[in-house]
Amino acid sequence: MRRWIPILILALAIGAGLAWIARPFDIEFRWGDRSDQAATLSVRESTALAERTPEEQRAIEGVESTSRAFVAIAKEVSPSIVTIYSERSVAMNRPGGRNPFGLPDELLERFFEMPDRMPQRGMGSGVIVGRDGRVLTNNHVVANADRVKVTLPDGRSFDAEVLGRDPKSDVAVVKIDAAGLPAVKLGDSDALEVGEWVLAIGTPFELSQTVTAGIVSAKGRSSVGLADYEDFIQTDAAINPGNSGGALVNLRGEVIGINTAIASRSGGYQGVGFAIPINMASNVMDQLIRDGKVTRGFMGVTLQQVDAAIADNYGLDRPRGALVNSVSPGSPADKAGVEQGDLIVELNGKQVRDRDDLRLRIGETAPGTIVDMTVIRNDDRKTLRVKLAEMPGDDEVASREEPSESESDLALEKLGFEVARLTDRERVRLEIDQDVEGLIVTRVDPGTPASDSRLNEDDVIVEAGREPVATVSELREQLNEVPPGKTIRLKVQSREGNHYIALRIPKS
């Protein structure tokens, strides 16, 4: 038996060598007639690896290269992504209001001391943009907060000062007392292309330093209903509650967007997320830090979208441009000769895509700038020169000290309620048609004219004083026209349908 051992070892060595040059096969060795006197050498796995084509190997190496890029970017950017906690005190909706237990307040007060106000906490993400402790985030992450705290990836926590916030773009800047922090590199969102790989980094569901990957699904998304000025980057990188204020990063490790919101019927990730382009966010941030407010251009018109029928009526082959609904007397547009019914198709020689595109471009232009507008009027094209003014009210909605637009309005404070823009998500939740425009009631204080008139949270105000209202400023204008002591009629829509209420303006 021993004389067979050297021969067996030599045969195994030869078989292993053949594995590198031969097709997959099995080699069987026998030294007797019984089945237990045999051995089999399989060379299938090793030869399978050797059979990859050059194209397959290059493809695998390419995927591995992308994976290594994701790893490198996550290591580089994650130390600059922070978690932001906010806290504010909110009034309890009583007496006669709802409570967490679903029981009458009178019954609860017999056994418990019910507080007048309760703390409300929120959480989001932020991006370190300055080594001195400046952090860029969303306005809705820190809006109305009595206290803001920032937690770094290394575990350190700091109380933060809100340097400025701009509800119209949903951008805010906070600062912590720290130095030598790792600041991100800011990219150029205008150069971003649909289809590019991107990473989203933030703190969804309190899971800090979460990294997800996807592509740029679209650019220039507007009419989403999240802010007054929208030019969103759409991505399928997973974004969930808590990601707001985090970073959208390209494969060069540059932040090209600030993650803001998702479109979802379930409240969680469904493949559609939105980020504010970093060029817009940076412009707003610089103004907030420098001036404490955002200054925008103002023309003085109301606009509407152009559909196929309107485009055909104006001789266009497809819907584009913005149709002038009205012109404010004495406004820059009025002085330049803009008329109701004009269809604005170009601004400074560049085609106007739609109403939101024009509003955004005018808003981003500095007051005092003269712009050339091409309009279609009575089948003729005219070029009008408009000297833009400053958007009124910006000092109220984007200052360091002042609260947001809905809060700072004295009429709303006296009436005892707050409102916000109606979003697509709220339309789905409240089962309201997509074409309904209005303001959703987010808070009603007890013992106020709003509660006395039976205005409720989640009601949607669609008209005030027989005029449609889709923004807080439009509602304010109607309220301010009513003399103290008189009433204004509101048309309200809820799950139960449309109804009217009469709201009395207090005398003092």
Q: What is the pLDDT of residue 423?
A: 76
CB 304 within 8 A of CB 283: no
Q: Does residue 357 share a domain with residue 442?
A: no
- Write down the mean pLDDT value for the chain: 82
Mean pLDDT, range 252-267, rounded to an integer: 85
pLDDT given at position 3:
66
Amino acid 343: pLDDT: 93
Mean pLDDT value across residues 307-335: 89
Residues with active-site annotation: 140, 170, 244
**pLDDT confidence bin for 29, thresholds 50/70/90:** low
Residue where a domain terminates, one of 262, 293, 324: 293
Any idea which of 85-99, 111-125, 383-397 has the lowest mean pLDDT? 85-99
Give the amino acid at 439: L
Q: What is the mean pLDDT of residues 186-194?
A: 95
pLDDT band at 171 (very low <50, low <70, confident <90, very high): very high
Confidence of residue 314 (pLDDT cuts 50, 70, 90): confident
**199 and 270 inside one domain:** yes
Asked whether residue 109 is assigned to any structural domain, the reply reads: no
User: Are 191 and 315 in a shared domain?
Assistant: no
Check whether 402 has a pLDDT greater than 70. no
pLDDT at 414: 72
Q: Which residue has the tokens 């800011």?
A: 186
Assess whether 287 and 346 both reside in one domain. Answer: no
Output the pLDDT for position 350. Answer: 94
Q: Do 371 and 323 have their domain in common?
A: yes
Q: Per-residue pLDDT tens for 227-246?
A: 778 889 999 999 988 899 99
- 378 and 427 in a single domain? The answer is no
Does some domain include residue 111?
no
Determine the average pLDDT of the residues in 463-479. Answer: 84
* Domain interval for residue 315: 297-390
**Of 20 and 116, the one with more pLDDT:** 116
Q: What is the pLDDT of residues 110-130, one digit of tens each?
A: 555 556 566 778 899 999 999
CATH number at 279 reads 2.40.10.120
Q: What are phi and psi of 199, to 5 degrees?
A: -115, 140
pLDDT at 508 over 80: no
pLDDT digits (tens, 9 = 90+) for 158-169: 999 999 999 889
pTM of the model: 0.64
Calculated CA dihedral for residues 206, 212, 214, 219, nearest 10 degrees: 40
Report the pLDDT value the prediction gives residue 40, as an integer from 0 to 100: 57
Q: How confident is the model at residue 358 (pLDDT cuts 50, 70, 90)?
A: very high
Let me know if residue 442 belongs to a domain: yes
pLDDT of residue 60: 85
**Location of structure tokens 């985090």:** 246
User: Using 50, 70 and 90 to split pLDDT, how confident is the model at 99?
Assistant: low
Residue 38, pLDDT above cutoff 80? no
The CA distance from 414 to 26, in Å, is 89
pLDDT at 396: 38
Does 274 score more than 70 pLDDT?
Answer: yes
**Out of 142-146, 383-387, 495-499, least confident range:** 495-499
Residue 34 in any domain: the answer is yes
Q: What is the pLDDT of residue 411?
A: 56
Tally of CA atoms within 13 A in the half-sphere of 222 that contains its CB: 16
Phi and psi angles of residue 147, each rounded to the nearest 5 degrees, phi first: -145, 135
- Strand pairing partners for 347? 350, 373
HEC secondary structure over 371-419: EEEEEEECCEEEEEEEECEECCCHHHHCCCCCCCHHHHCHHHHHHCEEE
What's the pLDDT at 445? 82
Q: What is the DSSP letter of 226?
A: S
* Residue 395 is assigned to a structural domain of this protein: no
- What would the mean pLDDT of 381-404 be, rounded to a whole number? 65
CATH of the domain at 489: 2.30.42.10
Instruction: Tell me: pLDDT of 327 over 50.
Output: yes
Q: Residue 411 is encoded by which pair of tokens? A: 């009429």
Residue 173 inside a domain? The answer is yes
Better-scored residue on pLDDT, 64 or 78 = 78
- Short-list 490, 414, 474, CA closest to 445: 414
Chosen domain end from 50, 65, 88 = 50
Residue 425 lies in a domain: yes
State yes or no: pLDDT of 404 exceeds 70. no
Residue 307: inside a domain, yes or no?
Answer: yes
Nearest partner of 286 among 190, 141, 398, judged by Cα: 398
More confidently predicted of 62 and 324: 324
Q: What is the CA radius of gyration of the chain?
A: 31
Q: What is the Cβ-side half-sphere exposure of residue 302, based on CA atoms within 13 angstroms?
A: 10
Same domain, 88 and 207: yes
Beta strands in 146-289 (DSSP E): 147-151, 157-166, 171-176, 185-186, 197-202, 210-221, 232-235, 247-249, 254-262, 273-277
Report whether 80 contacts 127 (CB < 8 A).
yes
Residues 288, 187 share a domain: yes
Residue ending a domain, choose from 238, 271, 293: 293
| Greater pLDDT, 169 or 399 | 169
Question: Does the pLDDT at position 379 exceed 60?
Answer: yes
Which pLDDT belongs to residue 407? 35
Say what the pLDDT of residue 394 is.
42
As a whole number of angstroms, the distance between CA 466 and CA 490 comes to 8
Let me know whether 289 and 304 are in one domain: no
Cis preceding-peptide flag for 100 (omega within 30 of 0): no
* Proportion of the chain above pLDDT 90, given as a percent: 41
Both 152 and 237 in one domain: the answer is yes
Give me the pLDDT at residue 201, please: 96
What is the predicted pLDDT for the residue at 95?
Answer: 44
- For the chain, how many structural domains are there in total? 4
Tokens in use for 361? 């471009």
Looking at residue 37, its pLDDT comes to: 58
3-state secondary structure of 65: helix
Distance CA 257, CA 274 (A): 9
Residue 467 backbone phi and psi in degrees, to 5: -115, 135
Residues 303 and 241 in one domain: no
- For 185-212, the DSSP string reads EE--GGG--TT-EEEEEE-GGG-TTEEE
Provide the pLDDT confidence category of residue 458 given band limits of 50, 70 and 90.
confident
| Residue 90 sits in the same domain as residue 205 | yes
